[in-house]
Amino acid sequence: MTTVDHKRIAILYGVTAFIFLLIGGLEAGVIRMQLASADNDLIGAGRFNEMFTMHATTMVFMVIMPLGVSFFNFVIPLAIGARDVAFPRLNALSFWIFLFGAVLMHMSFVVNQVPDAGWFSYANLTEKPFSPNRGLDFWSISLLVMGVASVAGALNFIVTIINMRAPGMTFMRMPVFVWMTLITSILLVLAFPVITVGLIELTLDRNFGTHFFIPAEGGDPILWQHLFWIFGHPEVYILILPPMGIVSEILPTFSRKPLFGYPFVVFSGIVIGIMGWAVWSHHMFTVGLGPVANSVFTITTMLIAVPTGVKIFNWIGTLWKGAIEFTTPMLFALGFVALFIIGGLSGVSHAVSPSDFQQQDTYYIVAHIHYVLFGGSMFGIFAGAYYWFPKITGRMMDETIGKINFWLIFIGMNLTFFPMHFLGLNGMPRRIYTYSAELGWENLNRIASFGYIVLFVGILVFIYNILKARNSRRVSHDPWDAPGLEWSIASPPPAYNFAEIPQIQGRDHYWIVKEKAEAAGTPITEPEALVDPSSIHMPSPSYWPIFTAVGVTLIGGGLLSHYALSFVGGVIAMMGVIGWSNEPAAAPSDHH
Amino acid sequence: MAHAVEQEYTTTGLNHRKLLMWVFLGSDCLFFASLIATYMVYRGQSLVGPYPNDIIDVPVTTISTFVLLMSSFAMVQALAATNADNRKATINWLLATALLGSIFIGFQIVEFNTFKNEGLTLGGNLFGASFFTLTGFHGAHVTLGIIWLLALAILGMKGRINSKTALDVELCGLYWHFVDIVWIVIFTLLYLIAGFDVGPVAIPGG
Amino acid sequence: MGLSPFRRAGSLSKPAASNSSEPTGRSSSLKNRSVIFGLLAALFLFAIGCTKDGMSTWDAYGPVAQKQLDLFNVLLWVMVAVFFLVEGALLYAIIRYRKRPGQPKPPQIHGNTTLEVTLTIIPTILVLGLGIWSVFTLFDLQDPDPDGPTPLHVNVTAHQWWFEFEYPDAGNGKKIITANELRIPVDRPITLQLESDDVIHSFWVPKLAGKLDMVPTRKNNMWFQADSDKIDDELPVTLYGQCAELCGIAHALMRFRVTVMEQAGFDSWAAAYGPPPTNSAKAKAGQQLFAANCTLCHTIDGPDDPALSASRLTGFLTGGDITPVPAPNLTDLRTRSTLAAGIIDLSETSLRDWLRNPEDIKAGNYMSERAVLYQNGAASLTDEEIDALIGYLLDLP
């Protein structure tokens, strides 16, 4: 509860997000079961709308983002040779606010007023006359609360990466994962304020009588779409860039070759980060913005395919002439590349606006986003989980079960989502809870629903594998013979990470070190020696972060129930900040 | 300039907290940019009055803008005094900054009240909604800044502000100047440019 | 026409599906099994993958949908080519460069700038080419050919959860307002102006054109045309349409039909548009019941009066239990084939079920919620009264 150690916070993030993955996954299951047959009435329309809204909101904001943050937390300080993040207590604050915000969102189930306007919540369906219950207030206020957590976390990582690299680690020696984290964090810091404003305006509309998105009073519901997608498209890259970074770590490790075209991979990431701001209206091709706007966004969106393609070429180039070992993390990383290609290609087809007019809001798009977010992001995250598990715990996950896990998820994923391409092209719109049999969508839906079961079993196997790993053998500090700095220290790493801050000798630092040692006839078999922890000043645990997080969440909760509660929350948050700034941090870096 | 005792290694030589503040201000820029964008998109889109020309009082707000600008000057003086280890001047200038900020907020409260009496409310029309949201959030930023300044002044009285901890003051200064600059943008756009709009106006593309 | 994209698409789906066998290569038996599995899956998907059913985009009935489909087909070919190239390279690398026992450390290649630049420029040219072509298509599809036949104009207004169609001039200056079933003459461009009364909806008839949103505050314009030489069946032909933007609880049930007719058939329908006759005593009783219970929201004697429509909309937006709301015009109900925004076929029986308790058929509809009749759930009408209403509405003997 009071920890400020980045490794423990990483585990907290990981476990929390994984629980939400199960919740979101069950919601997906309800959706798939409802759609498994035509004219089905398993659940009603209202419930169905709640399910897909919460499924997407959960997966985006409470699963993939925090899982990414979990890896940032664990890996970044280790990969750049730091003892912790720049602001350990701020880091703890981010986690607690995220957790409380996510719980607040799910309180909507308790009072049975669940958000039901989609994860994009297009105005003006979200306004009081059309969504009278408190569901959308839960949605917007919880997202505001979680937004604070995301921005605080991202600020922390930007400072950490820019300022806390070990001597010798220049920007162009940083591991690609660190690069992608930096770009992601910058995107987060810049994109979240935009949605914050949108959410504030929505909240004001719903609770304080403004008319930002109410057409009858002159408001324009399209403004919401602009605000949402100016945030939403960078958000897409926030979700995919970290897994791209993970894969860029894993492919070289198991090909025994450095990453092919490192500068190109890095620069393509930067270019994606910049161009990601210039394509948002491709989510709005059918709004009727006119042929000129649609042309411009068609071209910019087509162009963003290029840096993405560059990454894929470089990954294949990394494999080329390598000595590929098929470990579980490698399988997931290869799965990522294979599936991301499909997602990328289908993306090009709806980047073209005339073609998108037929595909927008159909299952073709659902297939596309799941190929990039499941085939892409989640595969990258699974790859990372298998890859860093021995570093996190000092134990290995079972490789055989890991492979079963991979194949189940890989096959289940394709069974579930590939048919959706056809469904979309056969005209099935998204977000419909029922369809009539005469439209010929039933068989494909059945396959998709069956695929879901396979996928679900795959996830259960993953859980089993993790639980089983508790009793598995301990492994050395460097079981994969990996290039990253994090593998040079003990597993699990001591609280202080590095007894001595290392001098970085190049990209793939640890490979260089190991090779030199081998050439000198003294191969490295042991991690860096442990030292007496009391000789190193580490930040002391603090309960102020959780205290402040309670205050911040109460401010939001008060808006949902009684404003007095908001006031109490404000007072608590203020007390937290005062207590915080008066508390001497053992670490030299202190946040005001 | 920063912690003399434990100035730790940073890759860029820039202090963590200072870097944090700069990146945060970058983020805040986008926040205000989005609010200002909303205002500009809805400029002249209100279906009913009051319209800006009916109620915006440029001369009065010019005075409050001047007050806020002067507070930035006081802030600069406070930092200079801190660096010079002049404890008394530090406290005085910090309090002066907070006072000028409070006067600005006072003007804003009076302005909001007048507007309300003249019929401009959050729910009345789009002008009211976007105006109050934008200037309200700016006012909240200023208020937060005042609390921060007062906290620093109290620390100063306890003798905990000196040239070794000048970063505390410098960060507050960064924030304060940022909030000032945002106000200059708001003042230019909402008062000087859009302040004379009479009723609905045609906006290119609107 | 219709069939060729279908066949093409079907055959293209095969390689894509077999992707499920991608990163194999560990053991040959596993690889073989995956390949067989992939082929089977591909065949299966090939068999059922692409259809030409009601909403299919593979079956264009007019120039707009056809050009969009043509563009997509080219994209599909390019995608498949790139897919084979890239996944092939990936698969080759995976199989060819897998680690062999005792293999020395592979060459430590860091990159190749020439290759990188080439592989950046080629896709750039490719996507720019496609992009520019799509821009031409975009502008090309903006308006119907000015030298072609005179377009028929229709104003479409979306409501939660049904569509209203207004023909300002359906022929001889006759104004028609109808709902949920759009009748159009063949071989003539139809220009549509799309609006919404409440939330955002989207207008989509896949076989005629891609979708366009219906946004309050905005008047969006689109056009399409049904070509007789693209239609195999005998006219009139009925096409499916559906709202494609989440618009609330009954979004999935917001459907409509487009009936493509010969110009002559359209003209006679337009000429016959008018209130149901009241020849029998039963019909007269029905008319009175209708006037007493339904006219707050529904119009049955020709196009709606704009002032009345406006006051119904105000009632709807203001809310409350018993307020008028905009509701489908029922003047030509007896000529329609579906009920409740295209979700069930119209018949005496289905209309009876609907009138008894609309909530059973279309959850969330405003008739159950707002009409006095349904304040206690099922209709507060006797069976005879309902019979009379049905007789009047459908002009039954």
- Segments making up each domain of chain A, as ranges: 6-582
> End of a domain among C107, C140, C173?
C140
Task: State the best of A224, A316, A382 to mutate against chain C, taking most chain C CBs within 10 Å.
Answer: A316
What gap in Å lies between CA C366 and CA C344, rounded to an integer?
A: 17
Q: For residues B146-161, b (16+ Cβ closer than 10 Å) or e, as one string? A: bebbbbbbebbeeeeb
β-strand partners of C212: C203
Among A87, A189, A592, whose Cβ lies nearest the Cβ of B27?
Answer: A189
| The pLDDT of residue A139 | 95
What gap in Å lies between CA C124 and CA C130, rounded to an integer?
A: 10
Inspect the interface and report whether the beta carbons of A349 and C83 lie closer than 8 Å.
Answer: no
Does C329 lie in the same domain as C237?
no
Cβ(A80)–Cβ(A169) below 8 Å: yes
Helix, strand, coil share of chain B (percent; to 5): 75, 0, 25
On the question of pLDDT at B201 being above 80, the answer is no
For residue B199, is it within any domain?
no
What gap in Å lies between CA C169 and CA C155, rounded to an integer?
A: 11
What gap in Å lies between CA A540 and CA A406, rounded to an integer?
A: 40
Closest alpha carbon within chain B to A196: B31
Count of CB pairs separated by less than 8 Å, A with C: 324
Strands C255-261 and C181-185, by their bridges, are parallel
List, for residues A75-92, the tens digit of each pLDDT value: 999 999 998 999 999 999
Domain around B109: 16-193
Does C190 lie in the same domain as C84?
no
Residue B177 Cα distances to B22, B171, B174, C241, angstroms:
12, 10, 5, 57
Residues 6+ apart with CB under 8 A from C168: C153, C155, C175
Does C247 lie in the same domain as C133?
no
Question: Which two three-digit tokens encode residue B134?
Answer: 């934008």
Closest alpha carbon within chain A to C87: A338
For residue C374, is it within any domain?
yes
> End of a domain among C215, C247, C272?
C272
C132 interaction partners in chain A (CB closer than 8 Å): 299
| The pLDDT of residue C24 | 41
Inspect the interface and report whether the beta carbons of A197 and B31 lie closer than 8 Å.
Answer: yes
Inspect the interface and report whether the beta carbons of A155 and B20 lie closer than 8 Å.
Answer: yes
On the question of pLDDT at A143 being above 80, the answer is yes
Inspect the interface and report whether the beta carbons of C218 and A334 lie closer than 8 Å.
Answer: no
- Number of independent structural domains in chain C: 3
Q: Rounded mean pLDDT of A270-276?
A: 93
> What's the ipTM?
0.91
| The pLDDT of residue C233 | 86
- Number of independent structural domains in chain B: 1
Q: Rounded mean pLDDT of A384-411?
A: 94
For residue B5, is it within any domain?
no
What gap in Å lies between CA C374 and CA C380, rounded to an integer?
A: 7
Residue A307 Cα distances to A580, B182, C116, C121, C203, angstroms:
44, 35, 11, 11, 35
Check CB contact of B60 with chain A, cutoff 8 Å: no
Strands C152-159 and C190-196, by their bridges, are parallel
Low-confidence ranges of chain C (pLDDT < 50): 1-28
Closest alpha carbon within chain A to B31: A193
Q: Rounded mean pLDDT of A181-206?
A: 95
On the question of pLDDT at B202 being above 70, the answer is no
pLDDT tier, A522 (very low <50, low <70, confident <90, very high otherwise): confident
| The pLDDT of residue C17 | 39
**Pick from A182, A262, A390, A387: which is nearest to A379 by CA?**
A387
Cβ(A107)–Cβ(A54) below 8 Å: no
If residue A271 lies in a helix (H) or strand (E), which one and from where to where? Answer: helix A262-275
List, for residues C1-11, the tens digit of each pLDDT value: 333 333 333 33
Q: Write down how long chain A is.
A: 592
| The pLDDT of residue C316 | 87
For residue B128, is it within any domain?
yes
What gap in Å lies between CA C239 and CA C79, rounded to an integer?
A: 30
A260 interaction partners in chain C (CB closer than 8 Å): 109-112
Q: Which residue type, as a one-letter code, is found at position B72?
A: S
For residue B152, is it within any domain?
yes
Inspect the interface and report whether the beta carbons of A361 and C25 lie closer than 8 Å.
Answer: no
| The pLDDT of residue C6 | 38
Domain around C96: 3-140
For residue B198, is it within any domain?
no
C-alpha R_g of chain B: 20
List, for residues B18-32, the tens digit of each pLDDT value: 999 999 999 999 999
Inspect the interface and report whether the beta carbons of A288 and C220 lie closer than 8 Å.
Answer: yes
Could you write out the DSSP letters of every residue in A33-52?
A: HHHTSTT--SS-HHHHHHHH
For residue C145, is it within any domain?
no
A159 interaction partners in chain B (CB closer than 8 Å): 16, 19-20, 23
Residues 6+ apart with CB under 8 A from A474: A394, A395
Question: Which two three-digit tokens encode residue B136?
Answer: 């309200």
A197 interaction partners in chain B (CB closer than 8 Å): 31, 34-35, 38
Does C243 lie in the same domain as C196?
yes
* Cα of B122 to nearest chain A Cα, Å: 5
What gap in Å lies between CA A46 and CA A49, rounded to an integer?
A: 5
What gap in Å lies between CA B173 and CA A368, rounded to an integer?
A: 48
Question: Which two three-digit tokens encode residue C248?
Answer: 């609330």
Cβ(A134)–Cβ(A114) below 8 Å: no
Does C340 lie in the same domain as C213?
no
Segment 120-179 of chain A within 8 Å of chain B by CB = 151, 155-156, 158-159, 162-165, 167, 169
The CATH number given to whatever domain includes residue C294 is 2.60.40.420
Inspect the interface and report whether the beta carbons of C20 and A439 lie closer than 8 Å.
Answer: no
Label residue C5 left, alpha or beta by phi (over 0 means left) and psi (-120 to 50 means alpha).
alpha
Question: Which two three-digit tokens encode residue C132?
Answer: 């520019």
If residue C214 lies in a helix (H) or strand (E), which one and from where to where? Answer: strand C209-214
For residue B202, is it within any domain?
no
B16 interaction partners in chain A (CB closer than 8 Å): 86-87, 159, 163-164, 589
Closest alpha carbon within chain A to B168: A592
Question: Which two three-digit tokens encode residue A152?
Answer: 């605080």
Q: Is the dihedral of CA A517, A519, A522, A526 positive or negative?
A: positive
Closest alpha carbon within chain A to B167: A592
What gap in Å lies between CA B12 and CA A586, rounded to an integer?
A: 22
Which ranges in A320-398 belong to alpha helices (H)? 328-351, 353-359, 363-372, 379-393
Instruction: Identify which has the larger pLDDT, C357 or A583.
Output: C357
- Contacting subunits of C (3+ beta carbon pairs below 8 A): A
| The pLDDT of residue C39 | 65
Inspect the interface and report whether the beta carbons of A426 and C53 lie closer than 8 Å.
Answer: yes
Residues 6+ apart with CB under 8 A from B36: B134, B185, B186, B189
Peptide bond into C277 cis (omega under 30): no
What are the two backbone dihedrals, phi and then psi, of residue C196, each rounded to the nearest 5 degrees?
-135, 145
Label residue A218 left, alpha or beta by phi (over 0 means left) and psi (-120 to 50 means alpha).
left
Torsion of CA C203, C205, C210, C215, to 10 degrees: 0
What gap in Å lies between CA A302 and CA C72, rounded to an integer?
A: 14
Lowest mean pLDDT among A13-27, A357-371, B19-33, C88-102: C88-102
Residue A572 Cα distances to A544, A551, A577, A579, angstroms:
10, 5, 9, 10
Inspect the interface and report whether the beta carbons of B129 and A212 lie closer than 8 Å.
Answer: yes
CATH superfamily ID and name for A6-582? Cytochrome c oxidase-like, subunit I domain (1.20.210.10)
C100 interaction partners in chain A (CB closer than 8 Å): 323
* Cα of C250 to nearest chain A Cα, Å: 7
Question: How many Cβ atoms from other residues are within 10 Å of residue A533's Cβ?
Answer: 12
Count of CB pairs separated by less than 8 Å, A with B: 119
What are the two backbone dihedrals, phi and then psi, of residue C191, each rounded to the nearest 5 degrees?
-100, 135
| The pLDDT of residue C44 | 62
Inspect the interface and report whether the beta carbons of A592 and B30 lie closer than 8 Å.
Answer: no
Check CB contact of A583 with chain B, cutoff 8 Å: no
Does C294 lie in the same domain as C338?
yes
The CATH number given to whatever domain includes residue B113 is 1.20.120.80
Task: State the best of C6, C8, C12, C22 to mutate against chain A, taking most chain A CBs within 10 Å.
Answer: C22
- Contacting subunits of A (3+ beta carbon pairs below 8 A): B, C
Does C258 lie in the same domain as C167?
yes
For residue C311, is it within any domain?
yes
Peptide bond into A426 cis (omega under 30): no
Does C217 lie in the same domain as C160?
yes
β-strand partners of C164: C157, C179
Closest alpha carbon within chain A to B133: A201
Does C331 lie in the same domain as C245?
no
Inspect the interface and report whether the beta carbons of A209 and B123 lie closer than 8 Å.
Answer: yes
Q: For residues A417-448, b (16+ Cβ closer than 10 Å) or e, as one string? A: bbbbbbbbbbbbbbbbbbbbeebbbbbbbbbb
A55 interaction partners in chain C (CB closer than 8 Å): none
Cβ(C9)–Cβ(C50) below 8 Å: yes
A359 interaction partners in chain C (CB closer than 8 Å): 57, 72, 210
What gap in Å lies between CA B36 and CA B31, rounded to an integer?
A: 9
| The pLDDT of residue A177 | 96
Inspect the interface and report whether the beta carbons of B8 and A193 lie closer than 8 Å.
Answer: no
Closest alpha carbon within chain B to A160: B16
